[in-house]
Amino acid sequence: MSGWETLTLRNTGVQLIDCDHKTPAAVSNGRPYVGIPQIKDGRIELDGVRLISEEDFVQWTRKAYPQPDDVVLSRRCNPGETAYVPEGMEFALGQNLVLLRANGSRVQPKFLRWIVRGSAWWEQVQQFLNVGAVFDSLKCREIPEFELPISPDNEQVAIAEILSSLDEKTELNRKQNRTLEAIAQALSKRWFVEFELPDQNGQPYKSSGGAMQPSELGRFRWGGRLSPFLKS
């Protein structure tokens, strides 16, 4: 590819920012403390995230304060997994996570999230992976030596815009599917567990007098007002 270069992260102006190597106490109401379980499919999912006090939040973000377009990298458990930081998301960085931050000198910040998800990235992860008795891991001092193919600036902007647009559409579809699944589960429970499916008048079956009675066709048959979805 014309104009592409293979460079180390260090030579592209990508900075590695390490986390605090300890864990703050959890509280019932507080600020998010993102750990390895929150790194999913290139995104940070805050469902089930640990919450910490405001005081601890300030302490844990004094040197590693995530900024938009930073990349969160897991060094352990699932080494090499990454997620980008979206606009408006504030959190403290958990143990065994680091931030990668592009200064724009050779890698555009919005392009960074994409070069750490391709095949070249995973080849470098495998090359630098330290195999342990319990967990495999990546070392902070070695991550900046990862060599990756880097395109010219104008191509980075175009690539990032196209991939981000596709990613947004994919995420929208994922959210819609989750919503439809939740609706289907709620209807299934309402109709076939609570027996409140619509009767012939469109009213909730059980609440409108519907009942189940012994039948020669089986253990039970529907009695009372029949639902249009059931045979008499």
- Per-residue confidence (pLDDT) for residue 226, from 0 to 100: 47
Alpha-carbon span 209 to 223, nearest angstrom = 9
Assess whether pLDDT exceeds 90 at residue 201: no
Reported as a pLDDT band with limits 50, 70 and 90, residue 232 is very low
- Per-residue confidence (pLDDT) for residue 227, from 0 to 100: 47
- Per-residue confidence (pLDDT) for residue 137, from 0 to 100: 94
pLDDT per residue as tens digits for the range 94-147: 999 999 999 999 999 999 999 999 999 999 999 999 998 788 999 999 999 999
Going by their DSSP bridges, the two strands 5-8 and 147-150 should be labelled as: antiparallel
Burial classification of residue 16, based on how many CB atoms lie within 10 Å of its CB (0-12 exposed, 13-18 middle, 19 or more buried): middle
Nearest to 20 by CA among 51, 64, 50, 56: 64
Identity of the residue numbered 123: E
- Per-residue confidence (pLDDT) for residue 179, from 0 to 100: 76
- Say if residues 56 and 98 touch (Cβ distance below 8 Å): no
- Per-residue confidence (pLDDT) for residue 122, from 0 to 100: 97
- DSSP letter assigned to residue 227: P
- Say if residues 25 and 33 touch (Cβ distance below 8 Å): no
- Per-residue confidence (pLDDT) for residue 212, from 0 to 100: 58
Q: Average pLDDT for residues 167-175, to the nearest whole number?
A: 73
Instruction: Kindly provide the b/e burial profile for residues 158-193, where b requires at least 16 CB atoms within 10 angstroms of the residue's own CB.
Output: ebbeeeeeebeeeeeeeeeeeeeeeeeeeeeeebee
pLDDT per residue as tens digits for the range 1-29: 667 899 999 999 999 999 999 999 999 99
For 148, list phi and psi in degrees, rounded to 5.
Answer: -135, 150
pLDDT per residue as tens digits for the range 43-54: 999 999 999 999
Assess whether pLDDT exceeds 60 at residue 222: no
* Domain definitions of the chain by residue range: 5-151, 194-223
- pTM score, whole prediction: 0.74
List own/partner pairs for 40-46 with CB under 8 A and 24 or more apart: 40/83, 42/82, 42/83, 42/84, 42/113, 42/117, 42/167, 43/83, 43/84, 43/171, 44/72, 44/83, 44/84, 44/85, 44/86, 44/89, 44/91, 46/89, 46/91
Going by their DSSP bridges, the two strands 39-40 and 92-93 should be labelled as: unpaired
- Per-residue confidence (pLDDT) for residue 194, from 0 to 100: 67
Q: Average pLDDT for residues 166-195, to the nearest whole number?
A: 75
Alpha-carbon span 73 to 92, nearest angstrom = 14
Architecture of domain 5-151: Alpha-Beta Complex (3.90)
